[in-house]
A = this chain, B = another copy of it.
Amino acid sequence: MPNMVIVGTVALDNIRTPFGEVRSALGGSAFYAGLSASYWTEVGVVAIVGEDYPEEGFRLLERHGVDYRGITRSKEKTFSWTGEYTYDLNTAHTLKTELNCLLSFAPDLPAVYDHVDTLFLANIDPEIQLRVLDSMPVRPSLVVCDTMNFWIENKLPDLKKVLSRIDILTINEGEARMLSGEFSLVAASRKITAMGPKTLIVKRGEYGVLVFGKDSVFASPAYPLEEVKDPTGAGDSFAGGVIGYMTRSRKSTNDVLRQGVVVGSAMASFCVEDFSTRGLENLSKTAISGRLSSFASLTSYPDLPPLDAGMKG
């Protein structure tokens, strides 16, 4: 019985990076986030797919215990993103976006999700995000939203309505600047949290994330990998890990948020190690546990001695 629900896209992606290429590969914001969260809590995905969507996608969710009763099948084709990355893997270059069935997506959440603890509004039209928020009989105790430059440019009024009703916004560095009109991320965070969310998570690709809360900033690095094969889905896997962990912990304290951000960073690091969702599939506890230990040692250092002992004058 899911206690976390994700609304977003399920897609078939065509991706090219310097390390290879995949076509009609499993993807989408809700799909990545769902797989990632599945390691931490009972999660359901609400999305729409077309009649061309392969059974393989459902089987993968099933194997990870993801509830997909909220995935509608339409008569159109599945949403598809075609993009490529050059050696600067921080920037995706969109070659084609075929919305297809997404154009008629008007999700009605299965009644079984009426009382979930947490809701992740993954990257999708803010009109749909609003519709979902309106449809819930009880507001989940934690509502997290992701968005992108396209919605900031084209659906700002709707996006602002969403922002006024959420707890955490996850957004890319450049998008935080675009949304706030501020170059400094400290200034940007103040403006964006004034729009609603108590917490802003700024995603910086290979540089990790900055988390701005009330009177608190947390910096978490991305895991330095020898080879990043495909960054697609990293942000969604990150969010799925953060929220999955927070749902499991049943707390939204600053400490749990920070732990969640580290879990999310670990899940994202698995995601980018292979194409499509392959890096997120069938992860063992040993693998996850090892990556989390590596994260801990990546940032830890012994307390500095008091300054009088450590300084000259």
Contacts and interface: CB of A to CB of B under 8 A. Distances in A.
Interface string A298-313: 1111111011101111
Report the copy number of this chain in the oligomer. 2
Given A301-B255, A301-B258, A312 B41 contact: yes
A226 B263 contact: no
Nearest to A86: B183
A212 to B, nearest CB: 8
Given A186-B225, A226-B184, A298-B219, A40 B255 contact: no
Contact of A248 (B258, B296, B312): B312
Size bin of chain A's contact surface:
35 or more
Residue among A227, A249, A263, A302 with most chain B CB within 10 A: A302
A302 B255 contact: yes
A207 to B, nearest CB: 4
Contacts of A311: 39-40, 248, 285, 288
Interface of A: 38-42, 65, 87, 183-187, 204, 207-208, 210, 216-221, 224-228, 245, 248-249, 255, 258-259, 261-263, 285, 288-289, 292, 296-304, 306-308, 310-313
